[in-house]
Amino acid sequence: MYFNKNNLWIVFYLVAFFWLLSFSVALSSIYKNTFREVIIEQENLTSMTANSLTDSLHKYEVILNIFGELLENCLLTDKELSQARIYSFVNSDPSILAVGFFKPDGRLLLGYPLSASLVHQPLNHIAETKSTFQYTLDSKEMVIGRTYFNDYLGELIIPVRKSVRNKQGEVIFVVSLAISLEKGFSYFIDNIEQSPSHNSYLYREVDRYLQLAPIKKINDKSIYSYQIPVAEINDAIKKLELTTDMSYDQIKASGKVITQEVKRSSQQLLSTNYYLTRYQLWLTTEISKDVIVNNLINKSLLLFFAHLFSIIVIFFLFRKVATGHKKQSDLLFFQASHDYLTNLHNRFYLDQQISNLPPNTAYHLIYFDIDNFQKINNNFNYKIGDKLLIKSSRLLESFIAADDLLIRASSDKFVIVSFSRNKQQVNELAKRILNGFNHTFNVEQYKIKISVNISIASNDSGSTELLTLEQVKRNSVLAMKVAKTHSEHLSFFEDELLASYLERNEIELQLKTALTNNEIYMVYQPLFAKNEQLIGVEALIRWNNSKLGLVSPETFIAIAESTREICSLGEFILQTSMQEIKQVIDSTNIELALSINISVCQFQQEYFFEDLEHFIDITDFNRLQLKLEVTENVLIDDIENIRNLLLKIKHQGIQISLDDFGTGYSSLSLLKNLPLDELKIDKSFVMDMLSDPDSYAMVEAIIAIAKQRDLAIVAEGVETQEIAHALENLDCDVFQGYFYAKPLPKNELIDFIKHKMTIN
């Protein structure tokens, strides 16, 4: 769930990222569009202004031409007529402040209005007009003079001049118009004022003076005296060439409007330039990039707030989902880490908590088990059983400390993990719990008495490394087996239990391959009648392992039964015993009965009877000489089905023997219900019958019962002649034990029989 919660927020962060990315893309698009719009607007403004300037200057050039043509013949002969015509032209155009006709040496011939300064000072002697007047003499085109403040006229003027030549090309005179900057170029000012974010100016290429200054300084007469440094001009030319990838001459000749980014006085500008080739003027329109940014901000505000609102809404939606998810996650985690019935923590929580402990943290694990709890469910019902478990869990909670963990490990098993107690304190706690459960529980209308067992194991094994939780659990389970047989119902884990457990595990492991490795073989212990006549043998299994050596049947048979390996071993015993004893009979020409022990597992197999018949057939063994030995525990769980199976076997002529008679608790009833042919007295009674009166009495009683039921009686464990005589006196039928013969392999059994026959 934690992983899923993180995934949810990862999804949100991804959504937010892509939302931000889309906003950035949109913002970039808006910026590009805004930038493009500004460039287009600025280029249009520049083009429009350039056209207006060209038209105006062309108009004045036309006027100059008219003046020259009209006055070329009469200027020198009829000054009064010329003066009248000049007056008429000046009054007809308010932008023309003055008109003057000058000799090539710069002296005034005729003009209106007359300026005393012009009369006494030629144009080629005035700083503002000197260079351009000379340029006019050299040029056949109209020449625009420098903008300057005329004291006589009282305002800034832009002079335009043109030389009038005779047929030989000699300059006769120069016509000069004083154009009012304010009136003659009002459209320039109006265009700029209508676009306040733009700033335009007109720059003279020929002498690096401003023709029309930027709007904020357009009426500042001092600005027109400022000559732009050559280095600044050259730097601007280089940038233009880099922007257009053309030479400076190509740029001027192209007639293109060129826009570039420039930096001036730490200010970023967008500059649009156009060259008026005819008049050698550069028109420049500039706008601060801050204006573009402000336009971008204004245009993107709505988009920004739309994205912001959207991401806020998405955030709250995700938070709502995350909150609900967290509640669900917490609930699922609670369900995953708690027992649904008792609300105690479960094994998952135990594993998690122990794995998160600081290193070298010691603890005791107290394993609590209710005996035969399934019987409570069967005798009452599961509802009563559940309520008893709840009462048990509440009672256990009353015993534990604040830092202890109480876990429901399974149906009727609980675990207490104690961190702050030593072995003695844990022992005292366990005894208090046992005493606490030593009473009758009232569950609805029932009074229920239960028996409990406690085992204790610690993760501190005394070595340098602490045990893992799984190892501690294993040790507590091993100790629980001891607790269930202990009078106090309490057991601490001891190292001997682990050694026994590991030995058993090793036996289990090796037993799985014992048959395939040919480690299992059969021996046969002879059975004798009263007259010491050999009448049969009992088949006994043996196991000689390459790693474990010779393993006692008492050890590995029990393990084989618990792991159900006894079923495959049983098949081996049946087939091998019948096959080998058939060979013994054929070798010795003596009839022998064969007794074979059958396990519970074999009887529970669906096709046991068919397999038995199959082994008899393939070995060609006389079924009348076959005897199957069963123990009482075979009959405990399913006596009726086992009885029917034994009857079926009995009808085939195979005898049935009840082994280890007297060690169980239902022996007498079995004699009545089962189709038995023989009883075998357990060797524990036989071996002690001469030293223990109770054992003697038991042997005597068993023989008496067998005689009464017309059953043959076999005594196993006959070790001495005294025991043999005592059994004979009690009228025992068959004797088995080391006094007569030890268990023998097939070949040794053949030799034993032949030797016995020779003696007889």
Asked if residue 574 lies in contact with residue 615, where contact means CB atoms within 8 angstroms, the answer is yes
* Nearest of 703, 733, 737 to residue 720 by alpha carbon: 737
What SS3 state is found at 176? strand
Residue 8 has pLDDT above 80, yes or no: no
First-to-last alpha carbon distance for the chain, in angstroms, is 85
Average pLDDT on 398-409 reads 91
pLDDT-above-90 percentage for the chain? 46
Q: What angle do CA 128, 129, 131 make, to 5 degrees?
A: 100
Looking at residue 326, what is its pLDDT? Answer: 76
**Six token digits for residue 457:** 């194991």
- pLDDT confidence of residue 574: 96
How many other CB atoms are there within 10 angstroms of residue 443's CB atom? 18
Crossing angle of helices 79-92 and 2-71, rounded to 10°? 160
Q: How far apart are CA 368 and CA 460, in angstroms?
A: 20
Question: Helix 565-588 to helix 746-759 angle, to the nearest 10 degrees?
Answer: 30
Q: Is the pLDDT of residue 435 over 90?
A: yes
Cα–Cα distances (Å) from 481 to 232, 459, 515, 555, in that order, read: 102, 19, 30, 17
Neighbours of 44 (CB within 10 A): 13
pLDDT confidence of residue 501? 86
SS3 688: helix
Residue 536 · residue 594 · CB < 8 Å: yes
Distances (CA, A) of 124 to 107, 131, 137, 280, 641: 8, 7, 11, 21, 145
CB contact at 8 A, 217 and 223: yes
Q: Give per-residue pLDDT as tens, 310-356.
A: 888 888 888 888 787 778 777 777 888 888 899 999 999 999 999 88
What is the structure's pLDDT at 192?
64
Mean pLDDT of 277-290: 90
Residue 477 to residues 270, 285, 493, 501, Cα–Cα distance (Å): 86, 94, 9, 11
List Cα–Cα distances, 233 to 37, 206, 215, 229, in angstroms: 28, 12, 21, 7
**Angle between the N-to-C axes of helices 639-650 and 608-619, in degrees from 0 to 180, rounded to the nearest 10:** 20
Q: Does residue 675 have a cis peptide bond before it, meaning omega lies within 30 degrees of 0?
A: no
**CA 247 to CA 244: how far, in whole Å?**
8
How far is the C-alpha of 304 from the C-alpha of 608, rounded, in Å? Answer: 84
Q: Which runs of consecutive H residues, i.e. helices, occur in 620-692?
A: 639-650, 667-673, 683-688
The more confident residue out of 382 and 299 is: 382
Alpha helix positions (H), 338-412 = 347-355, 373-379, 382-397
pLDDT, average across residues 652-663? 87
Comparing 608 with 757, which gets the higher pLDDT? 608
Closest CA to 75 of 30, 49, 26, 111: 111
pTM for this predicted structure: 0.55
Helices 608-619, 565-588: crossing angle, 10 deg rounding: 30
What mean pLDDT, rounded, does the chain reach?
88
The CA distance from 720 to 691, in Å, is 13
3-state SS class at 204: strand
Please state which of the ranges 78-82, 385-389, 563-567, 741-745 shows the lowest mean pLDDT. Answer: 78-82
Of 36-50, 123-137, 582-596, 661-675, least confident by mean pLDDT is: 661-675
Confidence of residue 571 (pLDDT cuts 50, 70, 90): very high
- CA-based torsion, 282, 288, 293, 298: positive or negative: negative
CB 64 within 8 A of CB 143: no
Please state, as a whole number, how many other Cβ atoms lie within 10 Å of the Cβ of residue 734: 22
With both helix axes pointing from N to C terminus, report the angle between 469-483 and 495-511 in degrees, rounded to the nearest 10.
100
- How far apart CA 353 and CA 347 sit, in angstroms, is 10
Contacts of 574 (CB under 8 A, 6+ apart): 596, 611, 612, 615
User: Cα–Cα–Cα angle for 408, 413, 418, nearest 5°?
Assistant: 65
For 415-428, write each residue's pLDDT tens digit: 999 998 888 999 99
d(CA 345, CA 337): 6
pLDDT of 76 higher than 60: no
CA separation for the pair 166, 126 (Å, rounded): 26
**Residue 335: how many CA atoms within 13 Å on its side-chain side?**
7
Question: What is residue 665's predicted lDDT score, i.e. its pLDDT?
Answer: 52
Residues sharing a CB contact under 8 Å with residue 694, sequence separation 6 or more, in sequence order: none
Report pLDDT for 116.
46
Cα 448 to Cα 391: distance, rounded to the nearest angstrom: 12
User: Rounded to whole angstroms, how far apart are CA atoms 695 and 717?
Assistant: 13
1 pLDDT tier (thresholds 50, 70, 90) = very low
pLDDT at 721: 95
Query: 438 vs 55, 368, 441, 448, 456, CA distance in Å?
Result: 121, 14, 9, 11, 19
Query: What CA–CA distance (Å, rounded) separates 417 from 604?
Result: 41
Q: How far is CA 208 from CA 202, 231, 250, 682, in A?
A: 10, 11, 20, 134
Q: Span 67-90, mean pLDDT?
A: 68
Average pLDDT over residues 608-629: 95
With H, G, I as helix, E, B as strand and everything else as coil, classify residue 442. strand
Query: How far, in Å, CA of 65 to CA of 178, rounded?
Result: 15
Give the range among 11-15, 191-195, 584-588 with minimum mean pLDDT: 191-195
- pLDDT-based confidence at residue 556 (cuts at 50, 70, 90): very high
pLDDT in tens, 130-157: 989 999 999 989 999 999 998 888 899 9
CA angle 608, 611, 614 (to 5 degrees): 155
What letter does residue 702 receive in the DSSP assignment? H
Q: Identify the band that residue 488 occupies on the pLDDT scale cut at 50, 70 and 90.
A: confident
Asked if 569 and 515 count as a contact pair (C-beta separation under 8 A), the reply is: yes
Please tell me the distance from the alpha carbon of residue 34 to that of residue 287, in angstroms, as a whole number. 13
Question: What are the tokens at 752?
Answer: 């034993």
